[in-house]
Amino acid sequence: MHQLGRLPHSTLATLAEEYGPLMYLKIGQIENIIVSSPELAQQVLKAHDLVFASRPALSAANRLACKCKDIAMALYSAYWRSIRKICIMELLSAKRVQSFRFVREEETTHLEESIAEASYTHINLTERIFLLVRSMVERVALG
């Protein structure tokens, strides 16, 4: 990756000018197909969408995500489609999302109060929003 320099997108654009809009590039141990043309990218993704539907198989994901059986890391397959359907129907239905409105309101109020308390100091808003989302997910998932 260091060979691409500080502006890897510029380096890749220069390579595309020399070698064309479709390139094979091995970066470290990872094999990459670089598509530099919007038209070609659309064509590749339409014709080969199932090839790109899954995440790469990573050993860390295998260990951390129950051998890639959770919805975030499962490979695109009939199994993934079925757990996605269950997730949408049971966890993300309008009724279920609405049932946790009070959690979102309480956590948002807590964020507003913490920002108001720190009104004369610098704050890391990215960190605070991350904590907001984490708190909401924890409360919804764990009670």
pLDDT tens, residue by residue, 36-54 = 999 999 998 899 888 888 7
Is 48 in contact with 22 (CB distance < 8 Å)?
A: no
CA 21, CA 33: separation in Å to the nearest integer? 10
Is 89 in contact with 95 (CB distance < 8 Å)?
A: no
pLDDT of residue 62: 76
**Residue 64 is inside which H or E element, if any?**
helix 59-64
pLDDT of residue 2: 66
* pLDDT tens-place string over residues 69-83: 888 888 888 999 999
Is 62 in contact with 68 (CB distance < 8 Å)?
A: yes
Residue in the block written with tokens 């470290």: 28
Per-domain residue ranges of the chain: 1-52, 54-93, 100-143
pLDDT of residue 14: 93
Cα separation values, 93 from 31, 138, 141, Å? 39, 18, 15
- Kindly state the average pLDDT of the residues 91-107: 94
pTM for this model (two decimals): 0.57
